[in-house]
């Protein structure tokens, strides 16, 4: 199967002026806002420099940190929503499903 990923898809967070974390997903020149959550130091340390999408959603990277597990769960759900709303695909599953549908 041929993939259309010319650019690495990354998820990163920034601390906003209220002290919360804003999450963004980016690929190439495109960047989409995902959501805002309360500041957790472990979550900020993990996502602040940008993380590839596979690593960002991989629960084995979270260790025993419940906050990271919950963030990964929420990120998956929000990414699926953004894919549907903006007509883009970030996850491999979505790309495979589109290819199978049109084949």
Domain ranges of the chain: 9-102
In the chain the first and final C-alpha atoms are separated, in Å, by: 12
Q: What is the mean pLDDT of the chain?
A: 85
Q: pLDDT by residue (tens digit) across 57-100?
A: 999 989 899 999 999 999 999 999 888 887 778 876 655 555 55
Q: Are 8 and 52 in contact (CB under 8 A)?
A: yes
Rounded to an integer, what distance in angstroms lies between the CA atom of residue 103 and that of residue 80? 22
Degrees to nearest 5, angle at CA 30 with 29 and 33: 140
Rounded to an integer, what distance in angstroms lies between the CA atom of residue 1 and that of residue 54? 18
- pTM of the full structure: 0.80
DSSP code, position 20:
P
């Amino acid at each position: 199967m041929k993939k259309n990923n010319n650019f690495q898809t990354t998820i990163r967070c920034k601390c906003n002026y209220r002290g919360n974390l804003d999450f963004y997903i980016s690929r190439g020149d495109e960047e989409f806002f995902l959501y805002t959550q309360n500041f957790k130091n472990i979550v900020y340390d993990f996502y602040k420099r940008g993380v590839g999408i596979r690593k960002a959603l991989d629960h084995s990277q979270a260790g025993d940190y419940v906050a990271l597990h919950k963030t990964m769960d929420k990120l998956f759900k929000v990414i699926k929503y953004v894919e549907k709303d903006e007509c883009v695909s970030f996850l491999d599953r979505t790309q495979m499903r589109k290819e199978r549908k049109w084949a």
